[in-house]
Structure 1
Amino acid sequence: MNRPLPSPADIALSDQDFDQLRQTIYSYAGIVIGPEKRWMMRARLQKRVTALQLGSMAEYLTLVRGARGAAERDRFISSLTTNVTSFFRESHHFALLAHTILPALAAKDRKISIWSAGCSSGQEPYSIAMTVLEHQPALAPSVRITASDIDTSILQKARNAIYKPGELTGIGPEQRARYFQPVRGTAHPGELQAGSSLTAMVDFRQINLNAHWQVTEPHDVIFFRNVAIYFDAMTQRSLWRKFHRALRPGGWLLLGHSERVPTDQHDLLCPSGITAYRRPD
């Protein structure tokens, strides 16, 4: 006789399970979950326990940590990460890209590599593509934008490039008409999909920044904005060293408004504007 499965409200999160789940997401992704996030974790993971027809949070923990839990680990990360983004968010970086970075790169007459690290649902890399097309259109064939995230489900949304009206803030009517097209037969009126002029410039990849990742070619610009806040100081220091190695000499690292490279690592990444850093030549 099959045991009855608990309802989501009956799925408890013990102190031990909470601590071990926190350790699991930290060891896998470098993400710090503070004690104040306990009830958020419980509410979000209850849905996974129920969907998988498991009997307890402890069973879920065993699955996520086990050899056969790779697919569920991705869903685990997705459940506990917050994807907040918008087109042209923190617009000063796009002004810097348009008026300082791209003109300097145009003079080099070579391929240009830009990385949106922690791209969420795609608004950032598509904003980068629009900036190139509007301010340096002749450069577009030479620009390759890599967009990465640890969350496979949010990457699929980014690849689909379909946005509801509330997700289109930051872009005006002219840009919508030029770079987007209506989605027909949708249950959400007003949805738009990014056109091929944008999507052709972007390659999406799953990258776990806390794991080993290989740079096949150095980047000219790395957008890493509002992601470092989820990591502790030790993980951040490791990432600043990795980004230094991932940049060309003179390359740019752009961070979120509350993020900073510490002063004792300015030999690797030197302040060069508002939350902007450069690898020394």
Structure 2
Amino acid sequence: MSAIQSTDAQREFPYSRRDFERVKSLLFKQAGINLADSKDAMVYSRLARRLRTLNIHSFKEYLAYVGSCKDEMEHFINALTTNLTAFFREPHHFEALANYLRKRSQTKRIWCAASSTGEEPYSIAMTVASVFGTFTPNVQILATDIDSKVLQKAREGVYAQNSISQLSHDYKTQFFYKGKGAQTGRVRVVDELRKMVQFETLNLMSANWCLEAPIDVIFCRNVMIYFDRPTQRKILARMVRLMHSDGMYVAGHSENFTMYPELVAPMGKTIYRPVV
């Protein structure tokens, strides 16, 4: 089997089309993620780090190891999941959340289904704290992700100072500590805000999500684009079943669920309500 794009001679490890197809198949089976054929170089780059760490000399050998080692499967998934996020990314969603909370002060549960490194759930928490005027509202914020490594960063709540440059002065001073000395150029989410968010590992393809219902608001942004259409519908249907009848589902800017009118109905820009 020839190496992908005939670049094997320049690569540190043997890497064939068959290896890439096996990676695609395994990632889809474990995480429901559909890798495009154009991602072959990305797969090599990210998994080559694991081969070096484990002192494994080929992708064929590594894939055999992944299949036999549960702990390595976690590293495999972590390496191949993409985590692109920012504080208050797509700000209209947080304006919609604030309006929703003002109208439904009895809101109890918010689920951020793709936490990544924490910017999104902390943006949710800042919105909740601002609306209710307290760090201890009667609102549970659950943030989950399949990648355990990014969740650890999220729990720590430490970020580059320029990551909050677009926030207002009040938000910067109210919600972040400014690093000093060795931490100059970094900020940390204040303890009170970090306590508002519960971070947990969760694979959306798992049979049991262990989530308490009903959930009032679900943020699941720019995740469904990695799933094929049947998987999208399956996950969306499971989420809708967990939601309050007056709930709000927030999707990503590249996602459109108008093809599922039996599940959700539009209520704003990439925002939906469950159909019950």
Q: Distance in 1 between matches of 2:191 and 2:135?
A: 16
Q: Distance in 1 between matches of 2:74 and 2:37?
A: 22
Which stretches in structure 2 are left out of the alignment for 5+ residues?
1-9
Q: What's the counterpart of residue 97 of structure 1?
A: 97
1:13-24 alignment to 2 at 5 Å? 13-24=15-26
Which range moves more in the overlay, 266-275 or 146-155? 266-275
1:249-260 alignment to 2 at 5 Å? 249-260=245-256
> What secondary structure does 1:89 align onto?
coil
Residue 160 in 1 paired to residue 156 in 2? yes
One of 32, 37, 40 as aligned partner of 2:39: 37
1:117-136 CA-to-partner distances (Å, cap 9, x unmatched) read 11101011111111111122
Do 2:110 and 2:216's aligned partners in 1 also have CA atoms closer than 8 Å? Answer: yes
Q: Distance in 2 between matches of 1:266 and 1:169?
A: 39
Q: What's the counterpart of residue 182 of structure 1?
A: 178
Q: Distance in 2 between matches of 1:225 and 1:169?
A: 22
Instruction: Give the C-alpha shift of residue 169 in structure 1.
Output: 4.2
> What secondary structure does 1:248 align onto?
strand
Residue 211 in 1 paired to residue 180 in 2? no
Which stretches in structure 1 are left out of the alignment for 5+ residues?
1-7
> What secondary structure does 1:64 align onto?
helix
Q: Distance in 1 between matches of 2:166 and 2:77?
A: 28
> What secondary structure does 2:11 align onto?
helix
One of 132, 148, 155 as aligned partner of 2:128: 132
Q: Which amino acid aligns with 1:91?
A: P
One of 197, 200, 206 as aligned partner of 1:202: 197
Q: Distance in 1 between matches of 2:165 and 2:73?
A: 32
Q: Which amino acid aligns with 1:57?
A: F
Q: Which amino acid aligns with 1:267?
A: E
Residue 28 in 1 paired to residue 41 in 2? no
Residue 142 in 1 paired to residue 138 in 2? yes
Instruction: Give the C-alpha shift of residue 184 in structure 1.
Output: 4.3
Q: Distance in 2 between matches of 1:130 and 1:138?
A: 10
Q: Distance in 1 between matches of 2:82 and 2:12?
A: 25
Instruction: Give the C-alpha shift of residue 139 in structure 1.
Output: 8.6
> What secondary structure does 1:210 align onto?
coil
Instruction: Give the C-alpha shift of residue 105 in structure 1.
Output: 1.8
Q: What's the counterpart of residue 72 of structure 1?
A: 72
Q: Distance in 1 between matches of 2:257 and 2:136?
A: 30
Q: Which amino acid aligns with 2:217?
A: V
Q: What's the counterpart of residue 4 of structure 2?
A: none
Q: What's the counterpart of residue 231 of structure 2?
A: 235
One of 261, 268, 272 as aligned partner of 1:277: 272
> What secondary structure does 2:112 align onto?
strand
Instruction: Give the C-alpha shift of residue 44 in structure 1.
Output: 1.1
Q: Which amino acid aligns with 2:81?
A: T
1:53-64 alignment to 2 at 5 Å? 53-64=55-66
Do 1:224 and 1:253's aligned partners in 2 also have CA atoms closer than 8 Å? Answer: yes
Do 1:22 and 1:32's aligned partners in 2 also have CA atoms closer than 8 Å? Answer: yes
1:49-104 CA-to-partner distances (Å, cap 9, x unmatched) read 011011211111011112xx2221111111112111111110111111112x1012
> What secondary structure does 1:181 align onto?
strand
Determine what percentage of the aligned residue pairs are the same residue: 37
Residue 191 in 1 paired to residue 186 in 2? yes
Q: Which amino acid aligns with 2:39?
A: K
1:248-274 CA-to-partner distances (Å, cap 9, x unmatched) read 1111110011101143x2222111111
Change (3 A) 1:255 1:148: same
Do 2:258 and 2:266's aligned partners in 1 also have CA atoms closer than 8 Å? Answer: no
Which range moves more in the overlay, 155-164 or 52-61? 52-61
Q: Distance in 2 between matches of 1:65 and 1:161?
A: 33
1:228-248 CA-to-partner distances (Å, cap 9, x unmatched) read 111111110111101111211
Instruction: Give the C-alpha shift of residue 28 in structure 1.
Output: 0.1
